[in-house]
Amino acid sequence: MTTPVISVRHLTQTFTRTDGGRVLALDDVSLDIPAGEFACILGRSGHGKTTLLNAIAGLLPVGEGDIRALDRPVTGPGTDRGVIFQKDAVFPWMRVEDNVAFGLKVRGIDRTGRMRIAREHLASVGLEAVSRAWPRELSGGMRARVAIAAVFANDPPILLADEPFGALDYVTRRQLQAVLRELWQRTGKTVLFVTHDVEEALLLGTRVIVVSHGAIAEDRAVDLPVPRTDDDLATPQGLALKHLLLHHMGLE
């Protein structure tokens, strides 16, 4: 048996609210993600999805338990785990191509090399025409593409995404889901994708993990073809899975 790429063991995270109340965000969560999986973390808001992702990203101090990424303990953020954020995190003071090249610059890759890589990745998300633009000149959907290109340009083996398309309109969201799926298929990265959208989880995930009240309520492999169409979701198998997930979301 091979070592999982992400391994979470008995993770418990608590917060103290400003009014003094204690919040149990994650309660003894254990999870293994093998290489190449597209794992969707599904759940209602406030049930611990983002806390789980941030803890794995190293953006939160680990409470109790431990987290390993590529068999190394997680103690902070690292270039082995790229993150696509929920909020718009593209740096507004850098041109589009400099945003994409920033991680490479930090790692000391010379300007010619990093600009070549940045343009390749901008082309792969369909933004080669605006590489010299300022982020403020782009739409929200284009900025989300920049964020995707920037993460893939840095080439981390693990990709963590926190409801990256939650704020976008339906059409843009569908387009970006396709972009992300293609890049994932091409690169074979291990993806942990947080979403509150049942359809999105079923469309993208090879596995769906439902987080409810800070614990894992369901953990299912999605045995549907990849790439996946809406017809695949309308099969008896797809519909059964959808009903199960809707049930966990408290809707059925």
Partner 1 sequence: MTRRLQGVAASRLSGGLVVLLAGVGGWEILASLVTAKGSYHEPLVPRWGYLMRDSLLRMSDYWDGSLGVPSPSQGAPPTYAAALLALGQASLITLERMVIGVAGGVLAGVGLGLAVSASRLLRQLVAPTVHILRMTPFLAMIPLFDLWFGAATFGIILFVAYGVAVILFIGTINAVRNVPPVFFDRAATLGAGRVTVFRHIVLPAIFPEIRASMLLSFGLAWSLVVGGELLGAQTGLGVIVTYALQFAYTGRVLIVAFLFVLYAGISFSLFDSLSRRAAKWHPFAARTERV
Q: How far is the CB of 117 from partner 1 (least distance, A)?
A: 13
Task: Considering only residues 66 through 85, tell me which ones interact with partner 1, judged by CB under 8 A.
Answer: 76-79, 81-83, 85
Which residue in this structure is represented by tokens 């999105």?
200
Among 92, 126, 225, 227, binds partner 1 (CB under 8 A): 92
- From the list 67, 85, 33, the residue with the least C-alpha distance to 190 is 33
The 3-class secondary structure across 135-165, one letter per residue, is: HHHCCHHHHHHHHHHHHHHCCCCEEEEECCC
Task: Considering only residues 128 through 147, tell me which ones interact with partner 1, judged by CB under 8 A.
Answer: 134-136
Q: How far is the CB of 58 from partner 1 (least distance, A)?
A: 8
Q: Which is nearer to partner 1, 59 or 179 (CB)?
A: 59
Non-local (6+) Cβ contacts of 101 within 8 A are 114, 115, 117, 118, 153
46 binds partner 1 (CB under 8 A): no
Q: How far is the CB of 81 from partner 1 (least distance, A)?
A: 7
Helix (H, G, I), strand (E, B), or coil: what is residue 65? strand
CA distance 55 to 97: 29
CA distance 108 to 195: 34
59 binds partner 1 (CB under 8 A): yes
Among 106, 123, 129, 234, binds partner 1 (CB under 8 A): 106
CA distance 144 to 142: 5
195 binds partner 1 (CB under 8 A): no
**Of 36-44, 88-96, 197-205, 237-245: span binding partner 1 (CB under 8 A):** 88-96
- Would you list the DSSP string of 2-44? PPPSEEEEEEEEEEE-TTS-EEEEEEEEEEEE-TT-EEEEE--
Among 150, 161, 201, 210, binds partner 1 (CB under 8 A): 150
Instruction: Count residues near partner 1 (CB under 8 A).
Output: 28
What is the binding site for partner 1 (CB under 8 A)? 57-59, 76-79, 81-83, 85, 87-89, 91-95, 102-103, 106-107, 134-136, 150, 154
